[in-house]
Amino acid sequence: MNKVIVKIQGSEYNIVSKKNPEQMKTIARYVDEEMKKVKEGNPKLNIVTTSIVASLNIADILFDCSSENEELHNELEALKNEINNPTEEAKVEVEYINGELEQKEQEMIEKDYLIEELNVKLREKDNEIENLNKYTEEIKSEIEKYKAEVEGLRAEATEANERARVAENMSCEWQNKTYELQLKHTELENKLKNREGAL
């Protein structure tokens, strides 16, 4: 048992109870507040009358709470009975909900299967993209190689064209010199014939 001293309407009281001291003090404060309300409503009342009126007020609240508690208890019992003995309508509703749940579970299984298929396809596409990237890099490397070869061939072609131009110029010069030599040769032959004719 717990003992505690509480003050109600200015007087101290020793209270003994199984409740803990804080609970007893809370109850004492509640009683003190109820008595203050009664006293404020009718200041002429003595302490005994005030206590009786406050007790009646508290008892009235207690009875109301008890009545509400009993109603709630009855409602709870009724709900328990409904749960233990479901109506046909409730059974149909439960069956319908179970059917919906089974359908949703089946849909979830199908969606999981579809997601797995999509993941497989996605991995395949990722592999294809990776292979294409590798192939693209190889093609780029080959293109760079071909570009280098083309540049080399262009340089060779330019050099060959230059050599051909030089050779053509040299050929023209040789032809001109040959023609000049032929003219001189013809001229010399003519002079020689003329001298022979003069002798």
Summarize the confidence of residues 152-172 as an average pLDDT: 87
Residue 199 has pLDDT above 70, yes or no: no
Which structural domain range is residue 65 located in?
Answer: 2-89
User: Do the domain assignments include residue 172?
Assistant: no
35: in domain: yes
Domain count for the chain: 1
Mean pLDDT for the chain overall: 86
Q: Is 180 part of a structural domain of the chain? A: no
| pLDDT over 70, % of the chain | 97
- pLDDT grade for 143, boundaries at 50, 70 and 90: very high
Is the per-residue pLDDT at 90 higher than 80? no
On whether residue 9 sits in a domain, the answer given is: yes
- How far apart (Å, rounded) are the C-alpha atoms in residues 191 and 198? 11
161, part of any domain = no
Residue 66 is assigned to a structural domain of this protein: yes
Give a yes or no: residue 179 inside a domain.
Answer: no
**Structure confidence at residue 129 as a pLDDT band (50, 70, 90):** very high
